[in-house]
Every structure is written in C-alpha cells, then in structure tokens.
Amino acid sequence: MSVKGMVHLYAGDDEFAVRTAAGALVETLVPPADRAFGLEIVEGRADSKEEALGSSGRCLEAFATRGFLMAGAKVVWWRDVTFLADGTVAQSDEVKSKVKELVQMLRDAAPGGNILVITAPKVDKRSALFKLCSERFSVREFAVPEKSGEAVRYAQSVLHQELASLGLQAGQSVVQRFLERVGPDSRQIAGEVEKLFLYTGGRKNITEEDVDAIVSSSAESAMWDIQDAVGMRQLARGLRILRNLLDQRESPIGIATVIMNRLRDLQVYREGLDRGWLRVKSNGMAEWGDMEPDVEGQLTVTLKRGPRSLHPYRAGILARQAQLFTPSMLRRAQQVVMAAQESLVSSSVPPALLLEFMLTRLMTEGAAGAGARPAAGRARAVER
C-alpha cells in the first residue's frame, strides 16, 4: 500500500454523496467476510466538547490498535465528524489538541499499517489535518456549488450517475422536469431514481409522464409545478397540484402570490419576444440578445434577477409559455389573481374554492378574453 492510500478524507455539505463514496471505498478495502474484525467505525457527530473529545480519542485508539486479521491491518472509518471546521466545539483548545495528536500520529505512520477513512460535512482548509491530507494522502470534496448555474450542473451530474447506475436513460427535458420537482439534494435524487426504476419495471427510457406519475415534489418544487401548469394553461394538472398543496397546508395567499410572480415573468418574456430581445433556439434553449443598459436594468428590477441569470433551458420553457399568451391576456390574468388575493383576505368563501375558481378563469379561453388566440404564431421571435 502506498502512503497516499493510508488516509482518505471525504468532505462536503452533500452528506449523501460523501457517505456513499466513502462507503464504496470501504467495501473495496474490506471484504464482507472480514468486516467483523477488519473494520472499525467511530462515530464523529458531537454537540459538545466532551463528545468531541470522546470521539477523537476513540479514533486515535482505533488507528493505533492493530486488527485481528492475519495481515494485522484494519480500516478505521471516522464517520460524520462535525468538529473539523468552525463552531464552538471545534474552537475548544482541548479538542484542537486531540486533533493535533491525530495529525502527528498520521505523520509518523508507516505504509502497511491501518487505513483511516474520515468523512465530514466541513473541514477547515487552513487546518493542519486538511493540509496534511491534501499534501500526503487522499482528499475528495463533495460540496454543492453556491452559484445557481453550477448547482444545476452538479445536480444534473448526480442524476446522470444515478440513472446510469440502474441502466436508465432520460432526455434533457426529462432531466429538467425531474430536477425541478426534486431539487439538488443528492439523497432525494437517488431515492426518486430508485422509485422510477421500480415504477418502469424494466423499461429503460424514462419519460416526463413517468416523472409526473411517481417522482415526489417537495413543497417548493410543487409551487414550481403549479406555476408551470398556469404557464402551459393546463387546468386539470393545475387543479390537481393545487389540491396537493392545500393538503400539505401551504398558504393560499402564498399559492396566489407565486402564480402572480409567474404571470409577471411571462409578461416580461412576452415583451422580450415581441421586441426581439429574446429568442428561442431550435433546441429549446432561449437567450437574451443585445439590449440598452437601462432596458436590461428595468427587466432586472421587474424579474428580481438579471434576465441572463436563468439557465437557458429554463428560460426556453418560460419563453414558450409566454407564447401562449397575448399581452392583454396576461394583463387580464393578473387582474384575476389580484381579485382572488383580495377575496382570500376579505371573503368568507373557502380558500380552496376561491383558488379553484381563479385557476379555472386563468386557464380557460373565455377567462382570458373571448376569441383570444395564443401568441405562438408570432414566428419572427423564434429562431428556427
């Protein structure tokens, strides 16, 4: 065994990915038949100085003690260590001293002895432990990116890995729909992919209908679902999502507000299409072209974000939704929602009934204006 393979540090706020990767490593290092004597797990979660001292002490003892196997070596997994970064427990002088003792032991360790696997949600990169592992041993990080675009790509990567592990395939629109419902949490992604695998019963190609049928929405993604139902003018779907949200005790005012926000966005996208600022490519992506700085500034104020900050695929969805409305239809739709919001705080009519009536008016042709036609025919705004 090389020096590099003696210690493995897995860290990051994607807890599921950290534990999964470390677990896979442990499985390769210790065959199942040898785990009774060849693997020792030391729990690292600690809410107090005393717990942290106990955990680090057990780790030191485990790493210093030879295994019972003929080879004499064993794997020590110091799991989910919570005091290797900031925090009151981590700043304790006694805890720091214990961690320094471990660092010194690792420095002095010779190849061929025990193997240490450390998993932690966060590690101070300025610490002696992190520097030693980076310079001499092995470090893998699993952090969910803070920037929205990078976070989307990270979630897509996790999803593709989970799909591939079960032999499943999904197109771009299916991947987008899945992530809109599930979000970036890798644990939930893995769980929902497993549900899809069982649901499809051996069929490899996953469809949007499969996602809608079996993949669970978080409360937040369910809000996105109802926004998309309004944008696509899908009344039956919108009513079904509304009932689910109300069953989950979501605020009726909150539901009306997110729908109003979507209508506001669609109004901006409709304007962008009509004025040639925005175009939809043949692959479904949408991009904003050149605009005067004051125009882009006004769009940023209205959208509450820069128009170019949204992922091109998601922007394409909004653009295609905007094509289903004329500007006057969007103005009338906003009036319908405003009236519903007023009734929700002043009327004795049950909120569920008010919201169902609101959705019915929003997504039927008569409510948008008799004889109104979708705006999709304005082909000059669409790049073929």
Secondary structure in 3-state letters for 18-65 = HHHHHHHHHHHHCCHHHHHHHEEEEECCCCCHHHHHHHHHHHHHHHHC
pLDDT at residue number 310: 76
pLDDT tens string 135-166: 999 999 988 777 767 788 888 999 998 999 89
How many residues comprise the chain? 384
Contacts 24+ apart (CB under 8 A), 341-345: 341/253, 341/256, 341/257, 341/260, 344/252, 344/253, 344/256, 345/253
Query: Strand (E) positions, the chain?
Result: 7-11, 39-43, 75-79, 115-120, 138-141, 169-170, 205-206, 278-280, 286-288
Structure tokens of 335?
């009036």
> End-to-end alpha-carbon separation of the chain, Å?
58
Answer yes or no: are the C-beta atoms of 7 and 138 closer than 8 Å: yes
Q: 51: which 2 tokens?
A: 């717990």
Q: Is the pLDDT assigned to residue 97 strictly greater than 90?
A: yes
pLDDT given for residue 171 in this prediction:
92
In CATH terms, the superfamily for domain 3-141 is P-loop containing nucleotide triphosphate hydrolases (3.40.50.300)
User: Residue 2 — very low, low, confident or very high, per pLDDT cuts 50/70/90?
Assistant: low
pLDDT higher for 293 or 239? Answer: 239
Mean pLDDT of 106-132: 90
Model confidence at 67, pLDDT cuts 50, 70, 90, reads: low
**How is domain 148-214 classified at the architecture level of CATH?**
Orthogonal Bundle (1.10)
Q: What is the pLDDT of residues 5-32, one digit of tens each?
A: 899 999 998 888 898 899 999 999 988 8
Quote the CA–CA distance of 78 and 116 in Å, as a whole number.
7
The whole model's pTM is what? 0.53
Calculate mean pLDDT across residues 175-187.
Answer: 84
**Segments making up each domain of the chain, as ranges:** 3-141, 148-214, 219-381
Mean pLDDT of 91-110: 92
Mean pLDDT over residues 50-79, rounded? Answer: 85
**Secondary element (H or E) of residue 240:** helix 235-247
Report the CATH fold assignment for 219-381: Zinc Finger, Delta Prime; domain 3 (1.20.272)
What is the residue-averaged pLDDT of the chain? 86
**Residue 314 confidence class, pLDDT cut points 50, 70, 90:** confident
Averaged pLDDT for residues 39-62: 93
Q: How confident is the model at residue 218 (pLDDT cuts 50, 70, 90)?
A: low
Contact between 85 and 43 (Cβ < 8 Å): no
Other beta carbons within 10 Å of 11: 24
pLDDT tens track for 120-133: 999 999 999 999 99
d(CA 221, CA 178): 10
pLDDT of residue 383: 33
Local confidence band at 69 (pLDDT 50, 70, 90 cut-offs): low
Bridge partners, 205 (sequence order):
169
Nearest to 144 by CA among 114, 116, 183, 91: 183
The model's pLDDT over 257-300, given as tens digits with 9 standing for 90+, comes to 999 999 999 999 999 999 999 998 887 788 898 888 888 888 88
Task: Indicate whether 3 pLDDT > 70.
Answer: yes
pLDDT digits (tens, 9 = 90+) for 342-382: 999 999 999 999 999 999 999 885 443 333 333 333 333 33
Q: Does residue 202 have a pLDDT over 80? A: yes
| 130 close to 139: Cβ distance less than 8 angstroms | yes
Reading phi first (left if > 0) and then psi (alpha if -120 to 50, else beta), residue 284 is in: left
Class of residue 107 by CB neighbours under 10 A (exposed 0-12, middle 13-18, buried 19+): exposed
Partner residues linked to 278 by β-bridges: 288
What phi-psi label fits residue 334: left (phi over 0), alpha (psi between -120 and 50 degrees) or beta? alpha
Is the distance from CB of 337 to CB of 259 less than 8 angstroms?
yes
| pLDDT surpassing 80 at residue 70 | no
* Banded model confidence at residue 219, pLDDT cuts 50, 70, 90: low
Predicted local confidence at residue 1, as pLDDT: 57
Residue 344 in 3-state DSSP? helix
What does the pLDDT average to over 67-90? 81
Rounded-to-integer distance, Cα 105 and Cα 108, Å = 5
Produce one character per residue of 220-230: b if its CB has 16 or more CB atoms within 10 Å, e if not. Answer: ebbbbbbbbbb
Residue 212 scores a pLDDT above 90: no
Amino acid residing at 245: L
